[in-house]
Structure 1
Amino acid sequence: MRSGAKVGIVGGVFVVVASGVAYGGYNLWNGVTGGSQDVGTRSAPKTGPVTAEEVAATSRDFLAAWAAGEAEEAGRLTNDPVTAGPAIAAYREGAGVSEATITAGTPTGTVVPFTVKATVTYDGVSKPWTYASKLSVVRGESTGRPLVKWTPTVLHPKLTAGATLRTGTAKAPPVKAVDHKGIALPPEKYPSLAPVLDALRQRYGGKAGGEAGVETWIESANGTPSSTLLVLSAGKPGELRTTIDAGVQAAAEKAVKEFPTAAVAAVEPSTGAIRAVANNPASGFNTAFQGKQAPGSTMKIVTAAMMMRYDVAGPDSRVECPPTVRWEERTFENLDRFTTNGDLTNAFARSCNTAFIKAITPLKGKGVHNTALGDTARKWFGIGEVWSAGVSTQDGNVPESAGSETAASYIGQGKITMNALNMASVSATVKNGAFRQPYLIPKDVDGREFAEAEPLPGEVARGLRKMMNAAATETHGTALRAMSGVPSPKGAKTGSAEVADQEANSWFTGYSGDLAAAAVVEAGGHGGDAAGPVVAAVLKAG
Structure 2
Amino acid sequence: MGKRRRAGRPKTRPALWGAVIAVAVGGAGVTAWTLGGDDPGDGKPPIPTGPPTAAEVTKVGGAFLTAWARGNTAAAAALTDDAPAARAALTGFTRDAKVSAVTLTPGVRKGARLPFAVKATVTHARKGKPLDYGSALDLVRRPVDGKVLVGWRPSVVHPELRTGDRLVTGESGTPPIKAVDRSGDELTAEKYPSLRGVLDSLRERYGKKAGGTAGIELRIVRARPADAPARTADGKAQGKEEVPDKTLLTLAEGVPGTLRTTISPRAQAAAERETAKRKGASVVLLKPSTGEVLAVANSRPEGFNTAFQGSLAPGSTMKIVSAALLLEKDLASTDKKHPCPKYSSYGGWKFQNLEKFQIKNGTFRASFASSCNTAFISQSKKLKDDDLTQVSSEVFGLGRNDWAVGVPTFDGAVPVQRDAPKAASLIGQGGVRANPLNMASVIATAKTGRFTQPYLVSPEADGRKLATAPRTMEQDAQSQLRELLRYTATSGSAADAMSGLGADVGAKTGSAEVDGQKKPNGWFTAWRGDVAGAAVVQEGGRGGKSAGPLVAKLLKSAG
TM-score, normalised by the number of residues in structure 2? 0.88
- Which residue in 2 is equivalent to 1:55? 57
Matched with 1:523 is 539
Q: Once structures 1 and 2 are overlaid, which stretch shifts more, 337-346 or 303-312?
A: 337-346
What is the match of residue 541 of structure 1?
A: 557
Tell me the distance in 2 between the aligned counterparts of 1:427 and 1:310: 20
Q: Note the alpha carbon deviations across 1:162-193, whole angstroms, 9 max, x for none.
A: 11001111111111101122121111101111
- Aligned partner of 1:132: which letter? G
Identify the match of residue 501 of structure 1 among 516, 541, 551: 516
Contact 1:7 1:15 in 2 (8 A): no
Distance change in 2, residues 1:173/1:184 (3 Å): same
Q: Distance in 1 between matches of 2:373 and 2:64?
A: 57
**Please, which of 303, 311, 335 is the counterpart of residue 284 of structure 1?**
303
Name the amino acid aligned to 1:465: R
The equivalent of 2:162 in structure 1 is 160
CA distance in structure 2 between the partners assigned to 1:248 and 1:43 by the alignment: 69
Of 199-208 and 54-63, more deviation after overlay is shown by: 54-63
With over 3 angstroms needed to count, the CA separation of the structure-2 counterparts of 1:62 and 1:532, relative to structure 1, is: farther
Which residue number in structure 1 is paired with residue 319 of structure 2?
300
1:322/1:355 contact within 8 Å kept:
yes
Pair 42,85 (structure 1): closer, same or farther in 2 beyond 3 Å: farther
Is residue 329 from structure 1 mapped to residue 327 from structure 2 by the alignment?
A: no
DSSP-derived class of the 1:519 partner: strand
The alpha carbon displacement at 1:68 in A equals: 2.5
Counterpart of 1:462? Answer: 479
How far off is 1:54 after superposition?
A: 2.2
1:5–1:522 Cα change, 3 Å: same
Give 3-state SS (helix, strand or coil) of 2:15's partner.
Answer: strand
Seen in structure 2, the aligned counterparts of structure 1 residues 279 and 48 have a Cα distance that, compared at 3 Å, is: same
Corresponding residue for residue 395 of structure 1? 411
1:374 aligns with 2:383: no
1:7, distance to aligned residue in structure 2 (A): 4.0
Deviation per CA, 1:451-491, whole angstroms, max 9, x where unpaired?
Answer: 112222222222122111222211xx222222224344111
Q: Specify the code of the residue in structure 2 equivalent to 1:486.
A: L
Q: What SS does structure 1 have at the residue aligned with 2:395?
A: helix
Spell out the pairing of 1:100-249 with structure 2 (5 A cutoff). Answer: 100-222=102-224, 226-249=245-268
Call closer, same or farther: CA 1:46–1:380 in 2, change over 3 Å: same
What residue is the counterpart of 1:355 in the other structure?
375
SS in 2 for 1:132: strand
Q: Shift in Å at residue 255 of structure 1?
A: 1.5
**For structure 1, which segment, 102-111 or 403-412, has the greater mean C-alpha deviation from structure 2 after superposition?**
102-111
Corresponding residue to 1:480 among 495, 517, 521:
495
Q: For residue 37 of structure 2, what is the aligned residue in structure 1?
A: none
Q: State the partner residue of 2:18.
A: 9
Per-residue deviation, 1:495: 1.2
Counterpart amino acid of residue 423 in structure 1:
M
Report the CA distance between 1:42 and its aligned residue: 6.9
Tell me, in whole angstroms, the C-alpha distance in 2 between the residues paired with 1:140 and 1:114. 23
Name the residue aligned to 1:43: 45
Could you give the per-residue CA deviations for residues 126-171 of structure 1, whole angstroms, max 9, x where no partner exists?
Answer: 1122223233222112221122222112222211111100111111
SS in 2 for 1:128: strand
Secondary structure of 2:544's aligned partner? coil
Sort the Cα spacing of 1:134 and 1:481 in 2 relative to 1 into closer, same or farther, 3 A.
farther
Cα distance between partner residues in 2 of 1:305 and 1:281: 34
Structure 1: 5+ residue stretches without partners:
17-26, 35-39
Partner of 1:22: none
Work out which of the residue numbers 337, 352, 363 in structure 2 matches 1:343. 363
- Distance, in Å, in 1 between the alignment partners of 2:551 and 2:353 is 24
For 2:515, the aligned partner's letter is A
Alpha-carbon distance in structure 1 between the residues aligned to 2:484 and 2:477: 11
**Structure 2: distance between partners of 1:331 and 1:540:** 40
- With over 3 angstroms needed to count, the CA separation of the structure-2 counterparts of 1:71 and 1:537, relative to structure 1, is farther
Q: Are residues 112 and 460 of structure 1, via their aligned partners in 2, closer, same or farther at CA, if it must alter by over 3 Å?
A: farther
| 2:460 partner letter | D
Return the offset for 1:248. Answer: 0.8
CA distance in 2, matches of 1:193, 1:296: 27
TM-score (norm 1): 0.90
Q: Is contact 1:15–1:101 with CA below 8 Å preserved after alignment?
A: no
> Contact 2:284–2:436 at 8 Å: present in 1 too?
yes
215-224 or 517-526, which moves further after superposition? 215-224
Structure 1 residues 344 and 103, CA gap change in structure 2 (3 angstroms): farther
Any unmatched runs of 5+ in structure 2? Answer: 1-9, 33-41, 226-242
**Cα drift, residue 339 of structure 1:** 1.3
Shift of the 429–4 alpha-carbon distance from structure 1 to 2, 3 Å rule, reads farther
Counterparts of 1:537 and 1:74 in 2: how far apart (Å)? 55
Alignment of 1:471 with 2:488, yes or no, is yes
Q: What number of residue pairs does the alignment pair up?
A: 518
Q: Equivalents in 2 of 1:260, 1:106: separation in Å?
A: 31
Aligned partner letter, 2:473: L
d(CA) in 1 for partners of 2:166, 2:181 = 33
Kindly indicate whether the alpha-carbon contact (under 8 Å) linking 1:29 and 1:61 is maintained by their aligned counterparts in 2.
Answer: no
Name the residue aligned to 1:23: none
Which stretch of the first structure deviates more once superposed, 85-94 or 295-304?
85-94
Per the alignment, residue 291 of structure 2 pairs with 272
